[in-house]
Amino acid sequence: MRYLMILAALAAAPFAQAADEAALTAEARQQAKSLGQSLMKTLKHGIELSGPEAAIDLCNTEAPVIAGQLSEGDWQVGRTSLKVRNPENTPDVWEEQTLHEFEQRLQAGEDPMKIEATRLTENEFRYMKAIPTGGLCVTCHGAELSEPVKARLAQLYPEDQARGFSVGDLRGAFTLTKTLQ
Ligand code: HEC
């Protein structure tokens, strides 16, 4: 009897983990969506109100605040890229590897809106979702930037690497981590 119980527990373990991973992925997608929507709202509002140079200041001050507000409870929410503007967004090993993998998947023709990755270990769950470059983004991340945008970026981000992107390129990714008890 005891053997049977142990066997049953062993057999169920992978299923339990799969169910957990599905639930965590759903939660992560929701968090990434909220972050994306908040950032986009702030960005559009900033540009409409005062133009792209001023919107850079808004991104500079608000992007970390928005990510911080969403990083409540056990979730850590942020953005990363192979070419960062803010050095604080520099990828770690798993993020860098995943960003390279996303590039390959994009080249292979996968829909950028659906490119994502997960990693579940004993004490944390990680999730990344691709961020493609859209038309609005090239104002501040494109190859040809206006003089005022260049000047403001030079002041705030002297080591900026996040330019030269075209519409459709992979700009970066949302990156989320949940600590598991
Ligand atoms: C008004 C200028 C502006 C526009 C337009 C803009 N960004 Fe940014 N972006 C910034 C600034 C400034 C930062 C650095 C924010 C910070 O300090 O965290 C940034 C950072 C990022 C990052 C984090 C990684 C990094 O490079 O540090 C990603 C990803 C990103 N932007 C994607 C986008 C996408 C996608 C769009 C279009 C939907 C976009 N941006 C439009 C100014 C802009």
Q: Could you identify the atom of ligand 1 that is nearest to the CA of residue 59?
A: 12
Residue 85: which domain range? Answer: 2-179
Given pLDDT bands bounded at 50, 70 and 90, which one contains residue 10? Answer: low
Which of the two residues, 7 and 118, has the higher pLDDT score? Answer: 118
pTM: 0.91
For residue 87, the model assigns a pLDDT of: 96
* pLDDT above 80 for 2: no
The CB of 128 under 6 Å from ligand 1? The reply is no
Number of domains the chain contains: 1
For residue 4, the model assigns a pLDDT of: 58
Alpha-carbon gap, residue 62 to 140, rounded angstroms: 16
Question: Which residue has its alpha carbon closest to ligand 1 atom 11?
Answer: 59
Q: How far is the CA of 59 from the centre of ligand 1 (A)?
A: 7
| Sign of the alpha-carbon torsion through 80, 112, 141, 166 | positive
The CB of 163 under 6 Å from ligand 1? The reply is no
For residue 11, the model assigns a pLDDT of: 62
- Tell me the per-residue pLDDT of 30-46, one tens digit each, with 9 for 90 and over: 999 999 999 999 999 99
* pLDDT above 80 for 49: yes
For residue 94, the model assigns a pLDDT of: 98
- Tell me the per-residue pLDDT of 119-150, one tens digit each, with 9 for 90 and over: 999 899 999 999 999 999 999 999 999 999 99
* Mean pLDDT rounded to a whole number for the chain: 91
For residue 131, the model assigns a pLDDT of: 98
Question: Which residue has its alpha carbon closest to ligand 1 atom 40?
Answer: 137
For residue 17, the model assigns a pLDDT of: 74
For residues 139-158, b (16+ Cβ closer than 10 Å) or e, as one string?
bbbbeebeeebeebbeeebe
How many angstroms separate the first and last alpha carbons of the chain? 31
- Tell me the per-residue pLDDT of 78-134, one tens digit each, with 9 for 90 and over: 999 999 999 999 999 999 999 999 999 999 999 999 999 999 998 999 999 999 999
